[in-house]
Amino acid sequence: APLSGQKEEPCGAELCTSMEGLCDTVVGVLGGGQLGRMLCQAASPMGIRVAVLDPMENCPASSIAYRHAVGSFRDTNAVRKFAEGCGVLTVEIEHVDVDTLDALAKEGVDVEPKPSTIRIIQDKYLQKVHFREHGVALPEFMKIDNAESAEEAGRIFGYPLMLKSRRLAYDGRGNAVVRSKEDLANAVSLLGGYERGLYAEKWAPFVKELAVMVARGRDASVSSFPVVETTHKDNICHTVEAPARVSSGVAKLAMDAAEKAIRSLDGAGVFGVELFLLADGQVLLNEVAPRPHNSGHYTIEACFVSQYEQHLRAVLGLPLGDPSMKVPSALMYNLLGEDDGEAGFALAHKLLQKAVSVPGASVHWYEKPEIRRQRKMGHITLVGPTASVVRARLNSIIGSTESSNN
Ligand code: ATP
Ligand code: MG
Ligand code: MG
């Protein structure tokens, strides 16, 4: 059925025989991990059909997707074949075959956000160049090609500095902290050598990390979810607290920076914007994801529209929903594999068991085919009347040893 809002014949054959609810466009998602899974979950109540392309037979989205094409989102033939059955293509991971997406878009296939956006974002160095050119404040950075340029970065930025892989980075895999000049060579080889494509970033002495999910409609209008506070452990997202406990001035700065960044990109969808808050109140951009994001999981329980539903609305050209919170406070806790294999599931299992009896706690398990150490296996979101209540509820699950880490 058309989305135009025009009234159809009251009972035209088309309407009566069609299976579709809100729209009949099949949304094709490159990637079938937990983000793809939650996109499928959000699509289900609206009768929207989400197909996923993922190489893993039993990927997290496979059991609930409208269709799961087994194939690689980095393989041109797989992507092309997948696209044939979809009305719009989008991504749940940025590390995809963007050349093929680009070619498809030129052939008239609808890709959201635009391949140009995915191309900029998938190379973190190009991403930083792009945002610097668009006047978004971010830590100083420079490309590293050899030992000389690495040492030069050390001279200019001082130590510690952050060495990063340009491509294929996630959950801190691709980052190395360099504490001194002597540390450089080791960090470089840890990241796979100069050939891997590296850049250096000045250390950001943040007092907090903030994040904002920004939705961009097909008409280029932007709409932001609340500013949240994130904590990381070993470079991996650990907790997300919403709303962020910052002044309204800081929240506005964060939101303005995030929206400025997203306005500089092309195409529809939700974008995860990670930010550093410095002691002097400055807000710097860390990075952007062109898709739903870990820092937006909390929106499922805490906002009028979740980031997943919002992403679907955006790419389909439906009106964007209300991103504001419908509860006063929310806290998300990531469940990571403790170890490889079954043993790594013991703690997460215990936490899940505890969480189901805690008021306001929602349990998410991704059904990953393999438990791996430090991999995201699920998450728990707590909602409640105040930040201290949700914090106490989380502590009743994880034990107060970990209690408020700030
Ligand atoms: P993601 O899973 O979010 O994609 P990633 O692998 O792309 O992660 P980054 O976001 O670059 O990694 O960095 C991960 C974490 O490392 C940040 O959230 C922050 O805690 C820390 N970090 C990154 N860059 C810097 C910096 N320049 N100064 C200080 N800390 C940093
Ligand atoms: Mg990243
Ligand atoms: Mg990050």
Q: Which of 162, 228, 271, 288 to mutate to test the pocket of ligand 1 (most atoms within 8 A of CB)?
A: 162
pLDDT band at 16 (very low <50, low <70, confident <90, very high): very low
Span from the CA of 285 to the centroid of ligand 2 (angstroms):
12
Q: Is 394 helix (H, G, I), strand (E, B) or coil?
A: helix
What would the pLDDT profile of 120-145 be if each residue is shown by its tens digit?
Answer: 999 999 999 999 999 999 999 999 99
* Residues lining ligand 1, Cβ inside 6 A: 139, 162, 164, 169-172, 174-175, 201, 203-204, 209, 232, 235, 274, 286-287
Q: Which of 207, 285, 286 to mutate to test the pocket of ligand 1 (most atoms within 8 A of CB)?
A: 286
Which ligand has its closest atom nearest to the C-alpha of 230? 1
User: If you average pLDDT over residues 347-362, what whole number do you get?
Assistant: 94
Alpha helices in 109-241 (DSSP H): 115-122, 124-133, 147-157, 184-190
pLDDT computed for residue 20 by the predictor: 57
Q: Bigger pLDDT: 405 or 364?
A: 364
Residues 6+ apart with CB under 8 A from 92: 29, 30, 31, 32, 33, 35, 36, 39, 52, 291, 292
Instruction: Give the per-residue pLDDT at 400.
Output: 57
Ligand nearest to the CA of 235: 1
> Which ligand approaches the C-alpha of residue 205 most closely?
1
Q: What does the mean pLDDT of the chain come to? A: 92
Q: Which region among 39-43, 352-356, 400-404 has the lowest average model confidence (pLDDT)? A: 400-404
The answer to whether the CB of 237 falls within 8 A of the CB of 334 is yes
For the CA of 169, the nearest ligand: 1
> 208 with 243: CB under 8 angstroms?
no
Q: 126 C-alpha to center of ligand 2: Å?
A: 13
Bridge partners of residue 164, in order along the sequence: 175, 199
Please report the ipTM that was assigned to this predicted complex.
0.98
Q: How confident is the model at residue 19 (pLDDT cuts 50, 70, 90)?
A: low
Please provide the DSSP assignment of 311-336 as one string.
HHHHHHTPPP---SBSSSEEEEEEEE
3-state helix, strand, coil in the chain (%, to 5): 35, 25, 40
Average pLDDT rounded to a whole number, residues 364-382: 92
Tell me: the pLDDT tens digits for 278-289? 999 999 999 999
Tokens of 285: 């951009």
Q: How far is the CA of 151 from the centre of ligand 1 (A)?
A: 21
276-320, pLDDT tens digit by residue? 999 999 999 999 999 999 999 999 999 999 999 999 999 999 999
Q: Could you give the percent of the chain with pLDDT greater than 70?
A: 93
| CA of residue 221 to ligand 1 center, whole Å | 28
Q: What is the average pLDDT across 44-56?
A: 96
Check residues 379 and 3 and name the one with the higher pLDDT: 379
**Confidence check: pLDDT of 389 > 90:** yes
Q: In angstroms, rounded to a whole number, what is the distance separating the alpha carbons of residues 358 and 362? A: 9
What number is the average pLDDT over the span 63-69? 97
106 CA distance to ligand 3 centroid (A)? 30
Q: Is the peptide bond before 45 cis (omega within 30 degrees of 0)?
A: no
- Asked if 125 and 197 touch (Cβ cutoff 8 Å), the reply is yes
Mutate to test the pocket of ligand 1, among 198, 235, 240 (most ligand atoms within 8 A of CB): 235
110 pLDDT more than 80 = yes
Amino acid at 268: A
Q: What are 180-227's pLDDT values in tens digits?
A: 999 999 999 999 999 999 999 999 999 999 999 999 999 999 999 999
Give the residue whose CA is nearest to atom 27 of ligand 1: 203
Kind and range of the H or E element at 274? Answer: strand 269-278
